Chain A
Amino acid sequence: MMDNFIYDGSFTGFLTLIYQVFKKKNIPAQIIRGKEAQLNLIYNNITIKSDEEKADQVTEAIIAEISHKAYRTLYRAFLSEIEGVERAAIFYLQKGFKRGSSYLNSWADEEVVFINQAAKKVNREVHRFKGLLRFRMLQEKILYAPFKPDYNISFPVAQHFKNRLAGERWGIHDKKRNTAVIYQEDELLIVPGEELAEIKFAEEEELYQSLWQEFFNNISIEKRKNLKLQKSFMPQKYWEYLVEKK
């Protein structure tokens, strides 16, 4: 009989799931994210409890037996939340453990293609938001950046700003998933959106926004106007929080 695995949707939970798969040689029929799963007559529902220790063991095994790159790619692919990514990851790891680091060079392998493409989408969006994220200065001298990414990228995006804005207090807020990453005393904390205080802008905020709009409008060359090209680089779905496109 085959089983359904249910896990909490976190990366730690996912790695714990991987631990179960390889320890018990049990490949699930379905992997379900979140707490709820319908009872099913054919399959057994097994709930995986996130376990830091098991997750760490899996991390170490991936790095030691395949490569650091494999681990990183897998993590980024996981953040895509694309349908089927967990199952693809299982087969990816199965082959990776067997063949070692050179497995990643099998550019035509089905799972390598799947995981690479998912990771690429995530990486691309992370890179995009390194540029497109806009902070607003709040009254408490906190920089606050709301955004709506396609993928679950708050954490890698926040990592980019960790060193860059080390002397500031700031947070980024995924409005789609309603989670936030807050930077405090050199640490990144993930908090639910409900826990954020009410947003009140600092007095100087308006001036800087209008200065930026002024700059934006003046830096464009009229005779080269090309709105289509602009949109191809900066799709409209990102405009909601762009100060210059308000």
Chain B
Amino acid sequence: MDIEEKLAILADSAKYDVSCSSSGSNRKNKGGIGNSAPSGICHSWSDDGRCISLLKILFTNECIYDCAYCVNRASNDRPRATFTPDEVARLTLGFYKRNYIEGLFLSSGIKNSPDYTMELIYKTLYLLREEYNFNGYIHAKAIPGSTLQLVNKVGLLADRISVNIELPSRTSLDKLAPQKKAEDILKPMKNIGDKIVARKENKQKFRNTPKYVPAGHSTQLIVGATPENDNKIVNLAASLYNNFNLKRVYYSAFMPVKSDARLPALNKPPLLREHRLYQADWLLRFYDFSAQELFTEDQPNLDYRLDPKLNWALNNLHKFPIEINKASYEELLRVPGIGPRSAGRIVAARREGSLSYLNLPKIGMVLKRAKYFITCQGKYQAGIPFQEEIIEDRVIKEMGKKDLHQTSLFSLGELDDG
């Protein structure tokens, strides 16, 4: 099989992995080729509008497991292919030189055994880093069930490692991926998280502590294949961030790849739900929200009509309106239409003099959203009385429609501001 054919099969098999981030690492070029840009760089966008930053491929799409949701499951009849470490390395370098990519994302089906596969991933990374002196970004998968020692060896070469949880509960995992054990997924995640913390501590003591997944570790959850509600999913994400020191949780709208009695029959992937989950996730990471704030007992799912921050504000109108010239940074951050950047600017600009309503858009505030929730120099400028039903009605009319059209605009790119 020639390299072109292999690439077609092994890119096609890798496309359901969401992550394409190349940010968070600052590896320098030491006499070889490549470095990484801490901001991350998108190099292209595929026809589905997703950012292409990395050469995202599987090492092999052969797999001994038969997980119900996975396109590469053993019982699925499709062409199979396997790279050699050198093929992957040369493809990466050839693409990198031409600036097609920021680096490599190497995942894999499980061939022979988890350790056998993990060893191949390690060999490929070793070849790239040590033989070809490649310093571009590398994201590698830790194969569930492989020994931690092997995972850690890969961690010393990669910029990011991820272990996909895929299903948001133990019950679902047992049902749809019976050969995978929850422990095989959680143990390496815990281990990677601990190692990252230990490395940070060591670095303060010893200058030459080697890099260990400098861009952090991440995971992916499939949404809509199993009955878990949003409350459960967001809470799981929050506890992963808090306990495992995770950098990112990715959400992937479920798409049936082969009919299976254990799976729901969907015509379309639940993209809007996926989008809202990303927005909720954003609130956890950059807006200091807790998972509990976003749900109530009788509303265990996000309201898909509006973004979760707007929703929260409507449900908490008693906290508004706040005065732009007086509110604290934390209070400003809670206003729909104000992000971390504009909140910081408001606080800085106020010191130079009181801000008028006309100044606000220049600072980067989105007044269309924010106007309902603020006063500026004492005035409420939304043009309607500050009453819950009226505001809610207006907001849903004005923003709900447009927002629906923008579905998944924010979840896919490498956007840094929300």
B46 engages A216 (CB within 8 Å): yes
CA gap between A131 and B103 in the complex, in Å: 12
Contact string, B118-144, partner A, CB cutoff 8 A, digits 1/0? 000000000000000000100000000
Q: Is A54 an interface residue (CB 8 A)?
A: no
A233 engages B413 (CB within 8 Å): yes
Q: Which residues of chain B in 5-42 are interfacial with respect to chain A, using CB atoms and an 8 Å cutoff?
A: 7-8, 11-12, 14-16, 28-29, 31-35, 37, 39, 41-42
The number of residues on chain B lying at the interface, defined by a beta carbon within 8 Å of a beta carbon of chain A, is 63
Q: Which residues of chain B in 37-65 are interfacial with respect to chain A, using CB atoms and an 8 Å cutoff?
A: 37, 39, 41-53, 55-57
Known contacts A105-B351, A211-B91, A214-B4; decide if A232 and B409 are in contact (CB<8 Å): yes
Min CB distance B35 to A, Å, is: 5
The one of B32, B55, B100, B353 in contact with A167, judged by C-beta atoms closer than 8 angstroms, is B32
Interface residue tally on A, bucketed by range: 35 or more
Which A residues lie within 8 Å of B145 (CB)? none
Q: Which residue of A lies closest to B94 (CB)?
A: A208
B45 engages A234 (CB within 8 Å): yes
Known contacts A168-B97, A211-B94, A233-B42; decide if A219 and B14 are in contact (CB<8 Å): yes
Min CB distance B255 to A, Å, is: 6
Min CB distance A109 to B, Å, is: 9
Q: Which residues of chain A in 52-88 are interfacial with respect to chain B, using CB atoms and an 8 Å cutoff?
A: none
- For B39, B98, B269, B358, the residue with the greatest tally of chain A CB atoms inside 10 Å of its CB is B98
Contact string, A132-159, partner B, CB cutoff 8 A, digits 1/0? 1111110000010100000000000000
The one of A160, A168, A218, A230 in contact with B12, judged by C-beta atoms closer than 8 angstroms, is A218
A131 engages B44 (CB within 8 Å): yes
CA gap between A113 and B47 in the complex, in Å: 36
Which A residues lie within 8 Å of B413 (CB)? 233
Contact string, B338-368, partner A, CB cutoff 8 A, digits 1/0? 0000000100110111011011001100000
Pairs A–B under 8 Å by Cβ, sample size 18: A105-B348, A105-B349, A107-B362, A108-B349, A130-B41, A137-B98, A143-B98, A164-B29, A165-B97, A166-B33, A168-B97, A208-B95, A215-B95, A219-B52, A221-B50, A224-B255, A229-B48, A232-B49
Interface residues of B (CB under 8 A from A): 3-4, 7-8, 11-12, 14-16, 28-29, 31-35, 37, 39, 41-53, 55-57, 91, 94-95, 97-100, 102, 136, 255, 268-269, 271, 345, 348-349, 351-353, 355-356, 358-359, 362-363, 408-409, 412-413
Interface contacts beyond A130-B41, A218-B15: sample of 13 additional A-B pairs, CB < 8 Å, sorted by A: A102-B352, A105-B349, A127-B41, A166-B29, A167-B32, A214-B7, A218-B7, A219-B12, A219-B46, A220-B50, A226-B49, A230-B48, A230-B49
